[in-house]
Amino acid sequence: MRARLWGTALTLLLAATALPAATAVAATPGTAPRGAPTTPARPHGPSSLAGHFDNTAVSDNSASGAADFDGAGNSLSAQDLTAAGWTPGNGITLDGARLDWPRSAAGGTPDNVVADGQRVTVRGRGDALTFLVAGTGADGAPVSGTGTVRYRDGSHSRYELDAPDWRSGPLSTKAVALPHINTAGGPTAGPARLYAVTVPLRSGRAVASVALPARHGTAALHVFAVSVKDNGRGRTGSWAASTAGYRAVGPWTDRTLRLVVHSGAGGPRARIRLANTFAAAPVDIGAASIAIQGAGAAADGTPVPLAFDRGRAGTRIPAGAEAFSDPVDLTVPADTNLLVSIHLPGTVTAAPVHQEAAQRSYVSASGSGDRTGDSGGAAYPETMTIWPFLTGVDVEGGPGSVVALGDSITDGVKSTSGANRRWPDVLARRFQTQHRLPRYGVINHGISANRIVTDRYQGDGVSTDTGGVSAQHRLERDVLAQPSARTVVVFEGINDVRWGTSADEVIAGLRALAHRAHERGLRVVVATIAPCEGYGDCTADVDARRQAVNAFIRDNGGTFDATLDFDAVVRDPQRPQRMLPAYDSGDHLHPGDAGLKALADSVDLRSLVPGRD
């Protein structure tokens, strides 16, 4: 499978399918062999994707023989999709792309197209094109093809589209996973999966149409949706965190979470991003608000209520999807703690979380209802040190963001809790207090225990492991889909070499990350891996692998736009395989506050700014 797919966790669906089911061309029973699409007459020019639908993937459990997704009489369960919150005709936001699950996907009528060169009308201007896809009939292998994007100025570009198999594709990059499949004989145990796959566009050009890949052989690449994705132009990421796993919580019933986060960049208006990553069921948000933190759980002033979908007080977030609030007038100062309050009206027993918050947040009493509007903190007697659901705060305006992609050292493990002394925090303050360069936001997408090459958390189901899916598998969600991302700084790899991944595999992973980020127009900066002698598993063999990766990073042949020698910053000159004691937190793996500050202070800010070479 191409590296591009590995990083595109959930990003798609398709605006073009938000048409009445009557516009889809229905298959005529008995006119084609089982599984063969009933192809409508190909129009002379592009038409909506729904107008090309020629395959039925979804069936009602009571009429499971009414669909044949894979040519063997199997299909997706309409009930499972509804239980996941994927309701026919509803919009679903995946990695910043607003898409529509087809209206015809209620069961028994065509709801997708088998790609074979069809020309589809697609409108929009953005950085990428997203598809909701799955492959069938390739004996478990992904189905791939090359298509063409045509722009309104008459130009065109090619794209490569890979669709993982609907039964055996990786869970870590799925858009949604379902527990059953329907067969001619009725429902049976699954799993079934759909995938959001993102491909780059020529930046700044308006899209007119898309030609789907041609079909080769009997394998089929099914397309349910396609949409142009605009990564939040006109906004800057102020704060962010990665979903690191899906773990048991609470249970929380009719309670409000008051989450404390720290702004990097400031701005005159703000919005939040909530994510239901890795979930199997939708979550209901009853209300939300944002405020400047006062003391503890108390706000400095009255919290500003947030709305969703142009004015609704709450929202339902489908499994695997996310929701952005409407922007509100709130002047967010740079380098300031914020309170984001989220009311959960139902019972929540598991949630997507960022585990290592290094920050104390608050929870209202059980059954206390909506306390998002409270200025005081009395309603919040409980505390927690995780961030559930909340993955971003964006501000209006500004020049864009630098994304720090890393592991526990970037995450701030062993930094002083509540003091915001992670190295991305220090770097953000440096950007905000200078005036010669763009005053970028710096958003932190570090995950403790994360790796470049392999998944720590497998990407599905409730788990105690919160090490996240690999950097390659989360690149789309955590970097490429961030609002106005300009540069990515990759500081990762120590966990790979500690846990047996070869230097060559780590280097290949870094190359793949750089290639995909460059395709989307980002500047790529990579940091050398810091030493860890004295930590329990940091053996001489581990250090040899680390040194081999660092040698490549320092002399990478133009793979990266710039490098940061973090190894040289924190190592002991007298014993380079270990950290300088003044920078060591005490465990010999994680720098303390002084070491994290030294990392951030060592960065030449010009190296992070595109066009400043």
Query: 45-49, 525-529, 581-585: lowest mean pLDDT where?
Result: 45-49
Contact 346, 317 (CB under 8 A): no
Q: Residue 190's pLDDT is what?
A: 85
Backbone angles phi, psi at 430, to 5 degrees: -65, -45
The answer, yes or no, to whether residue 45 has pLDDT greater than 80, is no
- Is 399-613 CATH 3.40.50.1110? yes
Q: Residue 35's pLDDT is what?
A: 44
**Under 8 Å CB-to-CB from 250, ≥6 apart: which residues?**
347, 348, 349
Query: 7-16, 67-76, 502-511: lowest mean pLDDT where?
Result: 7-16
Q: Residue 233's pLDDT is what?
A: 80
Q: Residue 25's pLDDT is what?
A: 29
The token pair that represents 594 in the structure block: 């002084």
Q: Residue 204's pLDDT is what?
A: 85
The answer, yes or no, to whether residue 436 has pLDDT greater than 90, is yes
Q: Residue 3's pLDDT is what?
A: 37
Give the pLDDT mean for 161-175.
Answer: 97
Q: Residue 41's pLDDT is what?
A: 52
47-56: buried (b, 16+ CB within 10 Å) or exposed (e) per residue? bbbbbbbbbb
Query: 36-40, 128-132, 143-147: lowest mean pLDDT where?
Result: 36-40
CA distance 613 to 607: 7
Give the pLDDT mean for 166-181.
Answer: 97
Nearest to 487 by CA among 479, 495, 496: 479
Handedness of CA 602, 604, 605, 610 (dihedral sign): negative
pLDDT band per the 50, 70, 90 thresholds, residue 33: very low
Nearest to 354 by CA among 271, 273, 432, 298: 273
The terminus-to-terminus CA distance of the chain in angstroms comes to 34
pLDDT band per the 50, 70, 90 thresholds, residue 43: low
Q: Residue 15's pLDDT is what?
A: 33
Nearest to 394 by CA among 270, 278, 534: 270
Handedness of CA 264, 440, 94, 453 (dihedral sign): negative
The answer, yes or no, to whether residue 6 has pLDDT greater than 60, is no
Q: Residue 230's pLDDT is what?
A: 81
The answer, yes or no, to whether residue 12 has pLDDT greater than 80, is no
CA distance 591 to 583: 5
In this structure, the number of other CB atoms found within 10 A of the CB of residue 500 comes to 12
Share of the chain above pLDDT 90, in %: 90
Per residue in 384-423, pLDDT (tens digit) is 999 999 999 999 999 999 999 999 999 999 999 999 999 9
Per residue in 468-513, pLDDT (tens digit) is 999 999 999 999 999 999 999 999 999 999 999 999 999 999 999 9
How far is residue 367 from each of residues 131, 255, 274, 290, 380, measured CA to CA in Å? 41, 6, 22, 21, 12
3-class DSSP state of 81: helix
3-state helix, strand, coil in the chain (%, to 5): 20, 35, 45
Per residue in 185-227, pLDDT (tens digit) is 999 998 999 999 999 999 889 999 999 999 999 999 999 999 9
User: How many angstroms from the chain centroid is the CA of residue 5?
Assistant: 13
pLDDT band per the 50, 70, 90 thresholds, residue 430: very high
Q: Environment class of residue 335 by beta-carbon count within 10 Å: exposed (0-12), middle (13-18) or buried (19+)? A: middle
Give the pLDDT mean for 523-531.
Answer: 98
The answer, yes or no, to whether residue 383 has pLDDT greater than 50, is yes
Query: 11-15, 310-314, 400-404, 574-578: lowest mean pLDDT where?
Result: 11-15
Q: Residue 44's pLDDT is what?
A: 61
Query: What's at 209, amino acid-wise?
Result: S
The answer, yes or no, to whether residue 100 has pLDDT greater than 70, is yes
User: How many angstroms from the chain centroid is the CA of residue 361?
Assistant: 23
3-class DSSP state of 485: strand
Contact 76, 182 (CB under 8 A): yes
Could you identify the residue written with the tokens 């395989």?
Answer: 577
**Under 8 Å CB-to-CB from 397, ≥6 apart: which residues?**
234, 235, 236, 267, 268, 269
CA distance 159 to 561: 24
The answer, yes or no, to whether residue 97 has pLDDT greater than 60, is yes
Q: Residue 26's pLDDT is what?
A: 29
pLDDT band per the 50, 70, 90 thresholds, residue 146: very high
